[in-house]
Structure 1
């Protein structure tokens, strides 16, 4: 069908050229050109008609047009899908960041695996922290010690204050204990023996006599080394089992005051 249309179009166009050429020649020789131009215009009209018909029935043009339409529709569909996916991802991200997490069951000292078992998969994580939305949980040696959730932050602050208070108390105790150790070590043996059973306890060792004194700041142990005449005072135990707080010469008797009378 397309071949016939093309052939007729070609013949009509050739006829148009022929009659136009013939009419032009007659015009130049002053002859009658009416019929030549008339047939030429008629041939041009026929060729134009068949050209339009050929375009309409040409499968390649139709296929190209359909392909362009398909590509256009497909492109619009792809753009729409990408836009939808982008909106979905944006919504998902926004939803994830705005999600409220319940940290009421999370406690200081928990490991990361214990926290994840309670809270579920974190939105972000590293060796030292877990993120749940905009909240972070901080770990040290795989133990939870701080975080931004209110209950975790309050617990961490309270623990820090208690540790500081305990550390201060220990420093005071250490200082007081050293003072008591000095007093204990400088007491004469006569006085110690006098109060054994009430204020002090005593025991004989291979190195010499050992005494114990329970103070408000801890237990003190005194060893009077009979071979060296040196007194050692320890806390928490005698010798290597304790910590030495005082060392000095053993005082065996209380120093007597001398009284002088003048006549």
Structure 2
């Protein structure tokens, strides 16, 4: 081997040996960093515990569920009627949250009330439509109708008690040629109920026209 090459080979070997003495724990540090990174990754995968908050309380929760999400109350009525967190009250009905003065519960109560009101309006519109259909039926088709009814002669006309699609109505055909339909309410002052339809009394169905060629 030439002298110059041999010299460079010896110098390189010395540098490698010297470097290992200067940083003998470099591999250990790499292992430590690797383990730390793995631990951080594992910790990030663990489910985080949700913070206790009264805004996590929802309608329909039991007392135990409320305490689980909001913590121990500042005051417990011990009668399952309300809990107190600071200045906020949580009310119960039938052992379940029915309302309260937190932002979340106030929004839920309003939403529930709006939905109930909407359903009531829709139900009323359906009942009014049913009353109109009953009032516009001819006497002939009414008496042949598939739904149950009772009829009775009254002063000045004829009254029918009709059950139509889960609702009960009174139809009053007066001798002066008018028909009125009431939603039955036995507690009403007139004994009839709310007036939903008034119109001309139709007696007979129109005869079908037969066209011959």
Please identify the structure whose Cα radius of gyration is greater.
1
Q: Which protein is richer in strand relative to its size?
A: 2
Considering Cα pairs closer than 8 Å and 6+ residues apart, tell me whether 1 or 2 has the greater RCO. 2
TM-score computed with the length of structure 1 as normaliser: 0.41
Q: Which protein is richer in helix relative to its size?
A: 1
TM-score computed with the length of structure 2 as normaliser: 0.50
